Amino acid sequence: MKLAKVLLALAPVVIGVPVLAVTMPAGAAAAPVVVARYDFDAGASASGRIAEKSGRGVPLLIRTADRGSVRFRAAKTGKYVRLPLRCAAGATTCPRALLEGRDDADLDPGTRAFRWGATVLVPKSQLAGSSNVMQKGVATTESQWKMQIGESHGRAQCVVVGRGSTTNYLIRSSVVVADGKWHSVLCRRSGGSLSISVDGVARGKVTIPSSLSISNDKPLRIGGPNFNTSSDMYHGYLDNVYAALG
């Protein structure tokens, strides 16, 4: 469950010998560079901050409303987080929580190749609207990239909206992820395509404009877009959240 394979492939290896310059073959694509990674293994500080592990990103701040909380659960290989349960029918107040990182230029890819992923566990009964796992930006303001899980079919979804447009480009996974089991979900924008993978297997692709540019001054939010009464909060377990350029 800890650390998706794609991240393992990106990790530098120290072998104790001099580093030699390597010439990339002509036309070869550079390896993705992780610009934000959160494994939650250290839990949160007394001030409610969660460490960033790539060395390039920003820490997360735990934000709550209506007595919501973020709980850290231990596993054999580390920790993961539990966000508040879906509000009970007829309840007048609903505990809510999300994780927020301040605006970071590395998370504004423009037209560059970009990927974002997370490991999720949520039963279908805990889905409410389009459960927002992670996002930066708002669809109706500037631009956006997002991962969510749809309530109707329990499938993971990747969404992008470009600057100067309100057109929403969305790809749904061909398999269900809201089944109470752990799944690694990866969204990838590359040139004129937006694709989604689940557990390392390609599960969908849609064409988007290659000129679509994503850049905004909004914070990174994990677990929900905001605390509005109709917000699409994520009500499940979460681990290994990351983003990479390339």
Instruction: Give pLDDT, residue 20.
Output: 31
Cα 215 to Cα 163: distance, rounded to the nearest angstrom: 7
Dist CA 177 CA 72 (whole Å): 22
Which segments of the chain does DSSP mark as H helices, in order? 5-10
The pLDDT value recorded for residue 240 is 98
**Residue 67 DSSP symbol:** T
Please report the pLDDT score of residue 88 as a whole number: 85
Sequence-distant contacts of 192-195: CB under 8 A, at least 24 apart? 194/158, 194/160, 194/169, 195/158, 195/171
Q: What pairs with residue 50 in β-bridges?
A: 60
Place of tokens 């690694």: 184
Residue type, 214: I
The answer to whether the Cα torsion of 17, 19, 24, 25 is positive or negative is negative
Beta bridge partners of 188: 115, 195
* pLDDT tens string 172-204: 999 999 999 999 999 999 999 999 999 999 999
| Residue closest to 186 by CA, chosen among 3, 20, 4 | 4
Predicted local distance difference test score (pLDDT) of residue 228: 84
Question: Which residues, in sequence order, are CB contacts of 87 under 8 Å at separation 6+?
Answer: 94, 95, 128
Query: Residue 242 forms beta bridges with which residues?
Result: 37, 117
Predicted confidence at residue 5, as pLDDT, reads 38
Neighbours of 130 (CB within 10 A): 18
Class of domain 32-86+96-245: mainly beta
Specify the pLDDT at position 29. 62
pLDDT for the residue numbered 24:
39
Q: What is the pLDDT of residue 6?
A: 36
**Which of 159, 186, 160 shows the shortest CA–CA distance to 241?**
186
Which pLDDT score is estimated for 30?
A: 75
Residue position matching structure tokens 């460490």: 51
Q: Which residues of the chain have pLDDT under 70?
A: 1-29
Could you tell me whether strands 78-82 and 220-222 are parallel, antiparallel, or unpaired per DSSP bridges? unpaired
H or E segment to which residue 5 belongs? helix 5-10
pLDDT for the residue numbered 70? 97
Rounded CA gap, 193 and 109, in Å? Answer: 14
Cα distance between residue 243 and residue 133, in whole Å: 13
